Amino acid sequence: MDIIWRDSAAKDAYEEARVGRVFNHRRPSRFPLAVVKATSEEDIVKAVKMAVEMKCRVAVRSGGHSWAAWSVRDNSILIDLGNYKQVKVDPENSVAIATPSMTGRELNSALIKDHGLMFPGGHCPDVGLGGFLLQGGMGWNCRNWGWACERVLGLDVVTAEGELIHCNSTQNQDLYWAARGAGPGFPGVVTRFHLSLNPYPKRGFRSSGYVYPISLYRKAFDWLLSITETFDNDTEIAAISNYPEGSDEMCFFILFVVMKDDPEEAEKALRPAQETRPDGAIDEWFCREDSLEEQYDKQEGANPEKHRYCAENAYINNDADVPAVLEEAFTTLPHRKAFSLWYAMNPCSRRKLPDMALSMQSDHYFALYTVWEEESDDARCQAWVKDVMKKVERQSVGAYLGDSDFQVRRTKFWADDNAKRLMAIRRKWDPQGRVCGYLDEDDKSGTNGLRNVHEWKL
């Protein structure tokens, strides 16, 4: 087991182990005691037991894509799972068992070609299964196929005491309940996810796109909202404001991605948008052949490596005037690489969710993905995000853990009863706060967890 100690390793080696796999280049000033590079389940057990003996906390890194670098915590033993990548596929039963540092792209490349199966992981190809699934997982076609964590059949977990256990709907049910929505507050280390898979819709994977000048923001957004509720049930719908590559003009881009078995069905699904779209698009395409791999490439382009990021999000009230609430966010981007997103959640948001920790959603998911390059832009870009969110949050019901930073903004992440139950489960399984949990301001939340209240209402 490779261990890099803060006080004895070469400075460069320690720094690489501390943040080398952290996606956000706005690096935190937090310093783990040691980084354990685990390559097996046994390594994870050993690392947790070492932390118990040393009476220090444990932090975990799977894909390293948490925006706020939740894996980097002062005086902790950081268990980095980057070298622990395994997947086992049971195509007969459409089940895969995957380790948490497997990314969406890695998992799907093991599934699509050989088995014609897929798993709706994160949109960005390199998001790790670990962080993504624990917080719910807004995966491909979430509005129709539901939350990715609904496909977690079970998981193997090393508890805060260093014991390896299995959790599912009949064994250690409370941990299984918590694992689907606790996010970084999960009180253990997941070593494997058992996942249910769906067929990969290769023949009918299509997309339509409509790019409007930002001056048509209101008209285009109103139209989009008017067609979303009744739109086809295999189509993912998103609206993004951004600067398209090579353009100086901010645009409002609407994307429909349909995943069907049959190309004719795909075309039929996309046709209502094509036939009712407002005039004025500066670019558009209808029912273009597409694939998960091509979508991954586009996501990768929009979220480049080695950049500085500040993400924020909110679930907007279903009865709000959504284009008005989001107008500032969509029309005043602070950097050419930044973008704002509206992501349709209806009908998923109207269904009764399974009994699990994840319990917050609305029809309208909104997120800011503020991207920039230079440290000198940090203050300006972060101030823009804070300012926009101060107004937007008053029209929101809560937020998604996955695009949040609890050091900066506190809101609701679960229904009230779910939050209470989750915090109690955390205290039962980890009474000493061995696993770092939620990173709030000054990292002091410990076993209390998050308060789950809108700060602006206090």
Ligand X SMILES: Cc1cc2nc3c(=O)[nH]c(=O)nc-3n(C[C@H](O)[C@H](O)[C@H](O)COP(=O)(O)OP(=O)(O)OC[C@H]3O[C@@H](n4cnc5c(N)ncnc54)[C@H](O)[C@@H]3O)c2cc1C
How does DSSP assign 323-338, residue by residue? HHHTHHHHH--SSTT-
Is residue 76 near ligand X by the rule CB under 6 A?
no
Instruction: Choose among 319, 266, 321, 323: nearest CA to 291.
Output: 266
Is residue 47 near ligand X by the rule CB under 6 A?
no
CB-nearer residue toward ligand X: 223 or 406:
406
Is residue 64 near ligand X by the rule CB under 6 A?
yes
The window from 10-18, 123-131, 215-223, 267-275 that contacts ligand X (CB under 6 A) reads 123-131
Residue 49 Rama label (left phi>0; alpha psi -120 to 50; beta): alpha
Is residue 123 near ligand X by the rule CB under 6 A?
yes
Q: Looking only at residues 246 through 285 of this chain, which bind ligand X when binding is defined by CB under 6 A? A: none
Is residue 433 near ligand X by the rule CB under 6 A?
no
β pairing state of 34-37 and 2-5: antiparallel
Site string for ligand X, 166-205 (x = CB under 6 A): ------------------x-x--xx---------------
46, 62, 313, 430: residue in contact with ligand X (rule CB under 6 A):
62
Instruction: Choose among 234, 243, 304: nearest CA to 268.
Output: 234
Is residue 70 near ligand X by the rule CB under 6 A?
yes
Least Å distance between CB 320 and ligand X? 22
CB-nearer residue toward ligand X: 136 or 204:
136
Site string for ligand X, 4-43 (x = CB under 6 A): -------------------x--------------------
Is residue 402 near ligand X by the rule CB under 6 A?
yes
β pairing state of 339-344 and 364-372: antiparallel
Give the separation between CA 23 and CA 39, rounded to whole angstroms: 21
35, 96, 98, 134: residue in contact with ligand X (rule CB under 6 A):
134
The site for ligand X, by CB under 6 A, has a size of 33
Task: Quickly tell me which residue has 């597409």 as its tokens.
Answer: 290
Q: Looking only at residues 340 through 399 of this chain, which bind ligand X when binding is defined by CB under 6 A? A: none
β pairing state of 87-90 and 95-98: antiparallel
28, 32, 120, 137: residue in contact with ligand X (rule CB under 6 A):
137
Least Å distance between CB 263 and ligand X? 26
Is residue 100 near ligand X by the rule CB under 6 A?
yes
Is residue 425 near ligand X by the rule CB under 6 A?
no
Give the separation between CA 17 and CA 305, rounded to whole angstroms: 17
Residue 246 Rama label (left phi>0; alpha psi -120 to 50; beta): left
33, 118, 138, 353: residue in contact with ligand X (rule CB under 6 A):
138
Say which residues have a Cβ less than 8 Å from residue 387's Cβ, sequence separation at least 6.
none
14, 32, 67, 353: residue in contact with ligand X (rule CB under 6 A):
67
The window from 134-142, 240-248, 371-379, 420-428 that contacts ligand X (CB under 6 A) reads 134-142
What is the biggest distance separating any 2 CA atoms in the chain, rounded to whole angstroms?
A: 67
Is the separation of the CB atoms in 327 and 152 below 8 Å?
A: no
Give the separation between CA 209 and CA 274, rounded to whole angstroms: 9
385 by DSSP, 3-state: which? Answer: helix
The window from 110-118, 122-130, 285-293, 380-388 that contacts ligand X (CB under 6 A) reads 122-130
How does DSSP assign 220-273, residue by residue? HHHHHHHHHTTS-TTEEEEEEEE--TT-SS-EEEEEEEEEESSHHHHHHHHHHH
Q: Under the rule (CB under 6 A), what is the footprint of ligand X?
A: 23, 59-67, 70-71, 81, 100, 122-124, 127-128, 130-132, 134-135, 137-138, 184, 186, 189-190, 303, 402-403
